[in-house]
Amino acid sequence: MKSTPITHIHQSLGAKMADFAGYNMPIQYSSITEEHLAVRNGVGIFDVSHMGEFIVKGRQALDLVQKVTSNDASQLVPGEAQYSCLPNDSGGIVDDLLVYRLHEDMCNEGEQAFMLVVNASNIEKDWNWIQAHNTFEVRMSDISERTGLLAVQGPKASLTLQKLTDLDLSSVGYYTFIKGRLAGVDNVLISATGYTGSGGFELYVANEHTEKLWQAIIEAGAEYGIKPCGLGARDTLRLEMGYCLYGNDIGDTTSPLEAGLGWITKLTKPSDFIGKNILTTQKEKGLTRKLVGFTMKDRRVPRHGYSICDQEANVIGEVTSGTQSPSLDIPIGSGYVPVSYSKPGSTIWIQAGSKLLEASVCKLPFLKIEI
């Protein structure tokens, strides 16, 4: 297993560790519920250095990004980011990712530069996919192994980090980023994309500075009750917001339209992209299934892979994600169902062993938060 730059810190804190995407990652330190609520009500810090980062530079960098991603990167100006996906040739999803439009000082005159942030489990897969379609005047570099990434999340995240920098963090709007000095470390890329729904920042830094940054943030956040958080809380937080997890809710055989990601699938953008024709046809003909959220009538938690049934116990879909919501104190889940069952208020049934448990389709997100 690989380690992040601060795996030793997680171990010293007594974190429960497990293999995730080939990395020895902290799943939880105290309890998932405690860490989850710390992020919802105060501030938490995650080590997500396992994520992958690619730099794409060149006179035709935008052309390559436009070809392989579904969103319209031509709308980005330096200092902005967007959520997107890499469609495959059959209209499925190679991966979902973040696209950062880097500032001009990151490249030569007349060139453009982007950073693509991909899922840890798909680093090699995504690299090979993008490289295979790089028929442009573009240079690519994989900086994943030398880049640390910390996510400081929650309503007290800004107060915590502002202690450590002269940069005005209030100027960093949603899906924008700046670069500067934080906790005595130069060239920290500070973005506000988030995967928890509670606000906060992501900090990209060279590996060797990750520990210094972590320790400084822990000290700065002490008065706000900051807690180190593991991947367990990260999963419950994202599910409450209805955010997709690759490998569960989306994958090679799910289309972004089925997954409710039509908003990042710009079929009318000025350039073609992989899978565009298939997705256009799918939209014109109409979807046959959709990813929905649901709440359980029973107290039993729906698990990934459980069958979704109609009242007569006919299998109509499958649970993709499920958990006990720490914020709502009820079991929640998501899964693909026929369009006829996708309307909020529709009743579906979750098969748990020999039992059929009643559930109700609901609008996403499960939790509405004002940041």
226/345 same-domain check: no
pLDDT of residue 370: 77
| pTM, entire model | 0.97
Amino acid in position 38:
A
Q: Is residue 371 part of a domain?
A: no
Q: Is residue 12 part of a domain?
A: yes
**Does the CA dihedral 131-231-100-1 come out positive or negative?**
negative
In three-state secondary structure terms, 22 is coil
pLDDT of residue 43: 98
Q: Is residue 318 part of a domain?
A: yes
Statement: residue 371 has pLDDT above 80: no
b/e code 128-142 from CB counts within 10 Å (16+ = b): ebbeeebebebebeb
Q: Is residue 129 part of a domain?
A: no
346/230 same-domain check: no
What does 161-224 look like in DSSP terms, one character per residue? HHTT-SS-GGG--TTBEEEEEETTEEEEEEE---SSSS-EEEEEEEGGGHHHHHHHHHHHTGGG
Task: Name the residue range of residue 18's domain.
Answer: 7-49+146-240
**Number of domains present in the structure of the chain:** 2
pLDDT in tens, 178-235: 999 999 999 999 999 999 999 999 999 999 999 999 999 999 999 999 999 999 999 9
**Gap between the Cα atoms of 252 and 66, Å rounded:** 19
Q: Is residue 235 part of a domain?
A: yes
41/165 same-domain check: yes
298/212 same-domain check: no
Q: Please state whether beta strands 147-153 and 200-206 pair in parallel, antiparallel, or not at all (unpaired).
A: antiparallel
If one counts every other C-beta atom within 10 angstroms of the C-beta of residue 22, the result is 13
pLDDT level of residue 61 (50, 70, 90 thresholds): very high
340/212 same-domain check: no
Mean pLDDT along residues 254-277: 97
Q: Is residue 184 part of a domain?
A: yes
Residue where one domain finishes, among candidates 181, 214, 240: 240
Note the residue count of the chain: 371
Q: Is residue 99 part of a domain?
A: no
**Gap between the Cα atoms of 341 and 336, Å rounded:** 10
pLDDT of residue 106: 76
pLDDT of residue 332: 98
Statement: residue 146 has pLDDT above 90: yes
310/186 same-domain check: no
302/220 same-domain check: no
Mean pLDDT along residues 94-101: 98
Mean pLDDT along residues 289-318: 97
Residue 21 CB-density burial (10 A; 0-12 exposed, 13-18 middle, 19+ buried): middle
40/181 same-domain check: yes
pLDDT of residue 52: 98
Mention every residue, 6+ apart, whose C-beta is less than 8 A from residue 145.
Answer: 207
> Domain containing 30 — which CATH number?
3.30.1360.120
> Domain containing 299 — which CATH number?
2.40.30.110
pLDDT level of residue 16 (50, 70, 90 thresholds): very high
Amino acid in position 228:
P
Residue where one domain finishes, among candidates 221, 240, 259: 240
292/235 same-domain check: no
218/293 same-domain check: no
Residue where one domain finishes, among candidates 213, 240, 267: 240
305/225 same-domain check: no
44/173 same-domain check: yes
The token pair at 22 is 């080939």
Amino acid in position 94:
V
Q: Is residue 352 part of a domain?
A: yes
